[in-house]
Structure 1
Amino acid sequence: MIKQLNLPGLFKLKLLLIALLLIGCSSENDPKEDEMAQNAMIEIISENNTTIDFGQVVQGAALTKQFEIKNTGSIDLIISNITTPAAFTVNQNAVTVSPSATVVVEVTFSPETMSAISGDLIIISNAISGENSLLLSGIGTSNIFEGDVILRSQQEIDDFGALGYIEITGNLYIGDASSPSITDLTALSNLEATNGLDIKYNPQLSSLQGLENLAIENRLVLVANNLIENYNVLSGISNTLSILQIAQHPNLNDLSAFENMTSLGYLFFSNNDLITDLSVFLNLTTIINKLEITNNVSLTNLDGLTNVIHVGNTISISFNEQLSSYCGLVNLIQTQGLQFISFVEMRYNRYNPSGASAIINQCEKAVADGVYDGFIRIGDTSARDYFISKNYTTIDGELAIVSGADTTGLTNTLTNITGDLFISSITSTDLNGLENLTAVGANIYVNNCSNLTDFCALNNVINSGNFNTLSVSNNAYNPSVSDFNSGNCSL
């Protein structure tokens, strides 16, 4: 008897075998895939993935760089600590990073010694694989900068300030005449000392905040910082400088930053439009080299120099159009002696004494508007044009017109000279421009003008007799007074 096969039972058995086979295959999966499915993994991303080099950093300063930590696993990466070698710190050392996420860590190098420093940054976490360390290296260098520092732009100010230097052995130069851009010096607040400081041509700079801690040992030059009203931030100025130059300040109205000066090698004070006196220098006793005061349109007196008893070189005082008192120099002249005081020609001040003796005899003088007081020498066309621009009607002194100049336009307003008139070695053929001159209080000299043949511009003054004597020689034509009176003023 033949038995029939139980087909439904065989089908069930076949399904059972297939299921067992699938289970077996599943248990043989790649262990790495299984690992990823159940664990956190760490990846460090930095400049070159294994190291961060900070290079040279000034002792006491700090430099910060970044690196990234990425979780390449499938569960949270839990970082419990990040350890660093000495002189290195991180901004966070405990953080949780989600799967596929990245966290940025900042690491800062702050050397306290001048030496090379390196070591491993180590990340302690629940990661089962991946790099967990990073080599950090840097060199601590001196916080004293050797030599001069020149900063021409705001970017250079900021970059140098970030380096952290506290001292400059040379001079610090701030500014650029050709392309001024500096507006803020606060990045330099770490600086404590410099040999010299030059701040020049900074028309947009309104404050020196950032230099409040700076000691200035030897040299201070302040030029064309148009918005500056005072330099009181500079509290560390030495009272003995080799150079003090203060120039081209339309808004400077307070000089108290300089009140402790006792000795200067060179004092140059020019084009400070609002300054009326120099009383801030009452403690100053010595100027080793030169004193120069020029183009200060509001300056009326020099009383602030009354305690100066020595100037080693020349004194130049000119183009201070309201300056009428030199009494502050009397003590200097009397102490040092007339023979040791050397004045460069004083001109275009309100009062222009001829030298030390004149100051002793009369240290101040009231001079009326429209009057030029003292001796004036015109030696080129620019000097002539400047004189004409002032519209003087009278010269209370002497006028000399010499080689390089001519007389054109000189008496547009000028009618009277109380002293001598000198004309020498000019190349003109005539004296046109002196027609309105009606009086010369002393003598008229016209000499050594090889082309001069026409003196007719002097007719008014010669024929009126408002002069003492006429001396004419070595010209192309040499007329006498009688020649003028006869109408023979030219060839």
Structure 2
Amino acid sequence: MKIKNTILILAYILVFSSCASDDDNTPTQIDREPETVIEQTAIINFTNEESNEIDFGDVVVDIITTQVFNIENTGNSDLNITNIVIPDNYTIDISSTTITPDTNKDFTITFSPTEILDYSNVIQIESNATGGNDTITITGFGVSPIYDGSIVLNTQEEVDHFGKLGYTSITGGLNIGQVTSIASTIVDLEPLNKILEVGFLEVFSTTSLENLNGLEKLNVINSIQMVSNSALKNIDALKSVTKLEGYINFLSNNSLTKIDGLENLIEVKENVRFNKNALLENIDGLSSLKSVGTDFDLLGSPLIENLNGLSSLENVGVELHVSGSLLLENLNGLSNLKSASLLRFSDNVSLYDYCGIKDLLTNDGANLYHNGQRYNRFNPTKSEVVNSTCSELVPLGVYDGNLLMDSNSDIEKFVSKNFHTIRGSFGVNGQAITNLDFLENLETVTSDLNIRNTDLTNLDGLDKLIYVNQLFIQENAMLADYCGLNSFIENGTINNTGDYRYIITDNLYNPTLEELQNGQCTD
């Protein structure tokens, strides 16, 4: 019995264990997030400084020029560029490379046209790119080395760019700066050294340009203008210029000290003008100049001491005018001049010697401009130079020659000189004259004193007058007071004894000489 019970217990345990084992083997379900698959991308992003294409513009044949563009990989995997296909006449520094995500690489492309053609095309990029543009538009034109027309360059950047284009000739003008523009800060013309010929050269309103270096090979066909270049010191680079069909004009270049760059210039068919170049020391740079077609003007250059730079000059078509050269004493530099229609010299306060033009005047090669010699130390007529004296050191305080006052500027100049004697005739004319205070130092007029058609009401200011050759007072509609002449009438001299020594007519009051001598100086 005991054995039977033991067997039953074992059987029960086996059954129970079997059931428990079945429960443990039941599978348990587990929920999992689905896996995200990341797409691999490599994206071409092309950039250029100026646009979304590469534009070389016009490039002279056989000139090499370069540009830089950039490719960025905005994808998340490596961009493998296996080849960059470049059109003819272009080259590139990198043809295959790898660009990692979110990085970029610069490429340098070179354009070298060999013919006058349109080289515009596309660049093809071969790569594993999954996006972006695999072509780049490229534009370039091969052009003639002759630039047709005129070019205006206002900035150093424009000078640099135009120089890189490689033009060797300009049919029109090479304009550095403009008269009407804001002052140009161009400092260097060296980039223009390939240019061999231009129609005309103009340099306007520069503030930092000290010289024309870079133009040493330049021949100018027509004309040269240099205007208001405040830093320009010399023009030495212009030595290739030998003849001009047009003119030369140098105006208000306040740092210019010499013009030696014109030393090979032989002929100018129109005008030569140097005006208001305050620091110009000499004109020796014109030493080869033989002929000027119309006018030669040297004005407002106070430091000029001589005209030796004109020693080769033989012909001036119309007028030669020298004014405002305060240190100029003689005209010896004009001794080889054979012809000029007119000669005029004014405001050269030290000029007393005209012997350098005596032969010219004697042979009727030129005439002295009538009354054109003003405010020089000596102001002779043609007849005086030819027949009497060509040189005279006129004393200070004495004005030599005839003089006319008809404007406020004339009055201001006269007052600044402190003249007490007029060795010639003296005229006061025009309604701008309302008083004679500016004559308070005047003592002597060796020829005629003529007061005509003014708005004077009196003659106050002539108190120191002691000598005239003849006295004419006419057509002064408001003049009724002659008391300013009392001292002269009492103590002075009218030298001429003829019928026309004293003429007073057509004024508001017209006293005779006897009436003035009797004290009847007002109406």
Distance 1:86 1:419, change over 3 A: farther
Q: Displacement of 1:339 after TM fit? A: 6.4
Match of 1:195 among 175, 196, 199: 199
Distance 1:52 1:460, change over 3 A: same
Q: What per-residue deviation string (whole Å, max 9, x for no partner) do you get for residues 435-481 of structure 1? A: 333333x3333333333333333334443334423331433233343
Corresponding residue of 1:388 = 415
| Mapped pair 1:180 → 2:183 | yes
Query: How far apart, CA to CA, are the structure 1 residues paired with 2:186 and 2:137?
Result: 40
Distance 1:312 1:135, change over 3 A: closer
Q: Displacement of 1:320 after TM fit? A: 3.2
Query: How far apart, CA to CA, are the structure 2 residues paired with 1:62 and 1:359?
Result: 67
Residue 456 of structure 2 aligns to which amino acid in structure 1? Answer: S
| Mapped pair 1:304 → 2:309 | yes
Query: How far apart, CA to CA, are the structure 1 residues paired with 2:383 and 2:168?
Result: 47
Corresponding residue of 1:343 = 369
Question: Residue 174 of structure 2: SS of its match in structure 1?
Answer: strand
Corresponding residue of 1:475 = 506
Q: Displacement of 1:116 after TM fit? A: 1.3
Distance 1:453 1:71, change over 3 A: closer
Question: Residue 119 of structure 2: SS of its match in structure 1?
Answer: strand
Contact preservation (8 Å) 2:504, 2:510: yes
Q: Displacement of 1:219 after TM fit? A: 0.7
Distance 1:152 1:335, change over 3 A: same
> Which shows bigger deviation, 289-298 or 196-205?
196-205
Q: Displacement of 1:71 after TM fit? A: 6.4
Corresponding residue of 2:258 = 254
Contact preservation (8 Å) 2:502, 2:513: no
| Mapped pair 1:490 → 2:522 | yes
Distance 1:392 1:99, change over 3 A: same
Corresponding residue of 2:287 = 282
Question: Residue 323 of structure 1: SS of its match in structure 2?
Answer: coil
Query: How far apart, CA to CA, are the structure 1 residues paired with 2:280 and 2:215?
Result: 24
Question: Residue 486 of structure 2: SS of its match in structure 1?
Answer: helix
Residue 117 of structure 2 aligns to which amino acid in structure 1? Answer: S
Corresponding residue of 1:422 = 450
Q: Displacement of 1:88 after TM fit? A: 2.5
Larger radius of gyration: 2
Distance 1:80 1:193, change over 3 A: same
Q: Displacement of 1:230 after TM fit? A: 1.6
Match of 1:403 among 426, 430, 446: 430
Spell out the pairing of 1:321-360 with structure 2 (5 A cutoff). 321-332=326-337, 334=359, 337-338=363-364, 340-341=366-367, 343=369, 345-355=372-382, 358=385
Unaligned runs of 5+ in 2: 1-10, 340-358
Corresponding residue of 1:242 = 246
| Mapped pair 1:437 → 2:469 | no
Contact preservation (8 Å) 1:425, 1:448: yes
Residue 465 of structure 2 aligns to which amino acid in structure 1? Answer: L
Distance 1:43 1:294, change over 3 A: closer
Residue 92 of structure 1 aligns to which amino acid in structure 2? Answer: I
Residue 117 of structure 1 aligns to which amino acid in structure 2? Answer: Y
Unaligned runs of 5+ in 1: none
Query: How far apart, CA to CA, are the structure 2 residues paired with 1:65 and 1:112?
Result: 21
Match of 2:148 among 137, 146, 149: 146
Residue 456 of structure 1 aligns to which amino acid in structure 2? Answer: C
Query: How far apart, CA to CA, are the structure 2 residues paired with 1:266 and 1:169?
Result: 21
| Mapped pair 1:292 → 2:303 | no
Query: How far apart, CA to CA, are the structure 1 residues paired with 2:383 and 2:282?
Result: 20
Match of 1:168 among 167, 170, 174: 170
Query: How far apart, CA to CA, are the structure 1 residues paired with 2:276 and 2:102?
Result: 67
Distance 1:357 1:414, change over 3 A: closer
Query: How far apart, CA to CA, are the structure 1 residues paired with 2:118 and 2:134?
Result: 23
Distance 1:170 1:225, change over 3 A: same
Q: TM-score, normalised by structure 1?
A: 0.81
Query: How far apart, CA to CA, are the structure 2 residues paired with 1:132 and 1:177?
Result: 47
Corresponding residue of 1:43 = 44
Residue 486 of structure 1 aligns to which amino acid in structure 2? Answer: N
Q: What per-residue deviation string (whole Å, max 9, x for no partner) do you get for residues 374-407 of structure 1? A: 2222221222222223333333333222224425
Residue 454 of structure 2 aligns to which amino acid in structure 1? Answer: I
Residue 324 of structure 1 aligns to which amino acid in structure 2? Answer: E
Query: How far apart, CA to CA, are the structure 1 residues paired with 2:486 and 2:159?
Result: 66
> Which shows bigger deviation, 304-313 or 282-291?
304-313
Contact preservation (8 Å) 2:216, 2:239: yes
Q: Displacement of 1:289 after TM fit? A: 0.5
Q: Displacement of 1:190 after TM fit? A: 4.5
Corresponding residue of 2:346 = none
Distance 1:347 1:247, change over 3 A: farther
| Mapped pair 1:221 → 2:247 | no
Contact preservation (8 Å) 1:338, 1:356: no
Contact preservation (8 Å) 1:201, 1:223: yes
Question: Residue 328 of structure 2: SS of its match in structure 1?
Answer: coil
Question: Residue 478 of structure 2: SS of its match in structure 1?
Answer: coil
Question: Residue 233 of structure 1: SS of its match in structure 2?
Answer: helix
> Which shows bigger deviation, 424-433 or 339-348?
339-348
Distance 1:181 1:326, change over 3 A: same
Query: How far apart, CA to CA, are the structure 2 residues paired with 1:368 and 1:191?
Result: 55
Contact preservation (8 Å) 1:381, 1:404: no
Residue 297 of structure 1 aligns to which amino acid in structure 2? Answer: P
Distance 1:388 1:292, change over 3 A: same
Query: How far apart, CA to CA, are the structure 1 residues paired with 2:284 and 2:490?
Result: 51
Q: Displacement of 1:288 after TM fit? A: 1.0
Distance 1:395 1:188, change over 3 A: farther
Q: TM-score, normalised by structure 2?
A: 0.77
Q: Displacement of 1:110 after TM fit? A: 4.2
Query: How far apart, CA to CA, are the structure 2 residues paired with 1:368 and 1:272?
Result: 29
Distance 1:171 1:71, change over 3 A: closer
Match of 2:393 among 348, 356, 366: 366
Contact preservation (8 Å) 2:45, 2:74: no
Query: How far apart, CA to CA, are the structure 2 residues paired with 1:361 and 1:266?
Result: 33
Distance 1:288 1:90, change over 3 A: same
What is the RMSD of the two structures over their aligned residues, measured on CA atoms?
Answer: 3.8
Q: What per-residue deviation string (whole Å, max 9, x for no partner) do you get for residues 5-34 of structure 1? A: 6548846xx69x99xx99xx98xx97x84x
Contact preservation (8 Å) 1:402, 1:426: yes
Distance 1:153 1:386, change over 3 A: farther
Residue 182 of structure 2 aligns to which amino acid in structure 1? Answer: S
Question: Residue 172 of structure 1: SS of its match in structure 2?
Answer: strand
